[in-house]
Amino acid sequence: MKESYSLKPGDIVRSLRGKDEDQLFVVLSLPDERSALVADGDKRRFDRPKRKNVLHLVSTGAHSEEVANSLRDTGRVTNAKLRFAIGRAIRDAEEKGE
């Protein structure tokens, strides 16, 4: 039974497993079909992303176009942009009452 995980760079995801369980991250890249490189700009910086199994990540439904554009244009993103994107996703979720 194969499920489709349509993560893409710039998506805000929540970790389901590991010592970083319930933490929010931004997807930086998808090196293969089973893993994603994620960072939060704080504990996990852009220059040392965490490799996570995509089965251990769930999308929050939020996407940061700023991060996606920066990654596409320059191949890099600032840690401040990552923190800002996660903070905005948290604020949007609180406004919706989630």
- What does the pLDDT read at residue 64? 95
- What does the pLDDT read at residue 96? 81
Residue 6 to residue 21: CA distance in whole angstroms: 21
- What does the pLDDT read at residue 3? 45
Stretches in the chain below the pLDDT threshold 50: 1-4
Residue 41 has which token pair? Answer: 């700009």
**β-strand partners of 48:** none
Say if CB 68 and CB 8 are below 8 A apart.
yes
* 78, HSE (Cβ side, Cα atoms, 13 Å): 4
- What does the pLDDT read at residue 34? 94
CB-neighbour burial class of residue 66 (10 A; exposed 0-12, middle 13-18, buried 19+):
middle
- What does the pLDDT read at residue 93? 86
Predicted structure pTM score: 0.89
Domain 11-96 fold is SH3 type barrels. (2.30.30)
- What does the pLDDT read at residue 6? 87
